Amino acid sequence: MFRNVLCLVLGLIVGMQLTELWDYLMLTGDEYESTAIAVDTAAPTPLAEATLADRLYHETRVLCLVLTMPTQHKTKAAKVMSTWGARCNKLIFLSSQDDVELGAVNLNVTESRDNLYAKVRAGLAYAYEHYVEDYDWFLKADDDTYVVMENLRLFLYPYDPEAAVFFGHRFRTTYPHGYMSGGAGYVLSRDALRRLNLFALNNTKFCPLNTNAEDRQIGHCLLNVGVVAGDSRDELGRERFLPLHPRHLMPRIQSGTWLDKYYYFKPNLSDCCSDSGISFHYTKMYDYDMYEFFLYHLRIFGLPKTPSVLPQRLDYKQMEEKLQYWDQQISDNTAPIDD
């Protein structure tokens, strides 16, 4: 008898907590719709990671723009679509030929290495015209980039997409703030995409059309319209966006590569890569499925897997302070660069 009463009471308590949890989830969802950024004031509620990843999918919406070309539609682009690209909120391939099955758009730019910048410009204009209000962040990647979308969303979650910022693996160049590696992938906030389209792409002073490298040029255009180059390294200074293949990073970053000349923040050679890493470059055809297997399927027996909480979102003032801080970060790589 006593045991039955105890069970009843326990059941009621659990039920009430679940109801509260449900209300909490509904509430934060609504708030996010109506304001630029909702700041969680309630104590973080531990939830299963799968539930959090699902929530992130809806709250940190990413449109992926993957640079490819017709000869790669059935090879690398198809691999992107069947692996990480499927986890984007929307996936669009920037190409010179329409491909409905793939979701490739013909941007009417002649295929050539010299035209990659023109193609990315056209792609970012296309994304702006059709989708700027539908997504929060706009990722530009190559067809040999591999992106862990869940970690990208987790990294972006605290930041307001209405702040003018972009993230990626930062390279140094002749202008002080540098730019983000195109191969590691870079991600623009909604406001960065808006500024690029409203004030840069139509202005030859801020954003000249030429045949230079797309990442360097887009970076320059963004900086010229007040978009801040954000810092995406983790709390130990390890990079999350990686411009190399893992075999050149582990167990040590190989020194004497082109990276020595380009890195903006000095890497720790023996501890290169963040545990919450986001991207790799130079993905080979056989790598896509291998990464999928190791990242999404293989389970290690006995490895603790604890429920986690989402980080706090920054409010307007905190975001402003972050932008100012990032804007003043200067490279510790002072060697001259000759590109």
Ligand X SMILES: *[C@@H]1O[C@H](CO)[C@@H](O)[C@H](O)[C@H]1NC(C)=O
Q: Which residue is nearest to ligand X (CB)?
A: 271
Find the shortest distance in angstroms from Cβ 126 to ligand X. 5
Find the shortest distance in angstroms from Cβ 202 to ligand X. 4
Query: Which CB, 105 or 221, lies closer to ligand X?
Result: 105
Task: Write the single-letter amino acid at 234.
Answer: D
Query: Which CB, 56 or 207, lies closer to ligand X?
Result: 207
Query: Which CB, 271 or 320, lies closer to ligand X?
Result: 271
Find the shortest distance in angstroms from Cβ 266 to ligand X. 9
Find the shortest distance in angstroms from Cβ 129 to ligand X. 9
Query: Which CB, 264 or 288, lies closer to ligand X?
Result: 264
Query: Which CB, 6 or 269, lies closer to ligand X?
Result: 269
Find the shortest distance in angstroms from Cβ 105 to ligand X. 5
CA–CA gap between residue 107 and residue 288 (Å, rounded): 26
Query: Which CB, 116 or 314, lies closer to ligand X?
Result: 116
Find the shortest distance in angstroms from Cβ 102 to ligand X. 15
| SS3 per-residue string spanning the chain | CHHHHHHHHHHHHHHHHHHHHHHHHHHHHHHHHHCCCCCCCCCCCCECHHHHHHHHHHHCCEEEEEECCHHHCCCHHHHHHHCHHHHCCEEEEEECCCECCCCEEECCCCCCHHHHHHHHHHHHHHHHHHHCCCCCEEEEEECCCEECHHHHHHHHCCCCCCCCEEECCEECCCCCCCEECCCCCEEEEHHHHHHHHHHHCCCCCCCCCCCCCHHHHHHHHHHHCCCEECCCCCCCCCECECCCCHHHCCCCCCCCCCHHHHECCCCCCCCCECCCCCEECCCCCCHHHHHHHHHHHCCCCCCCCCCECCCCCCCHHHHHHHHHHHHHCCCCCCCCCCC
Query: Which CB, 58 or 130, lies closer to ligand X?
Result: 130
Find the shortest distance in angstroms from Cβ 169 to ligand X. 18
Binding site for ligand X (CB under 6 A): 105-108, 126, 198, 202-203, 268, 270-271
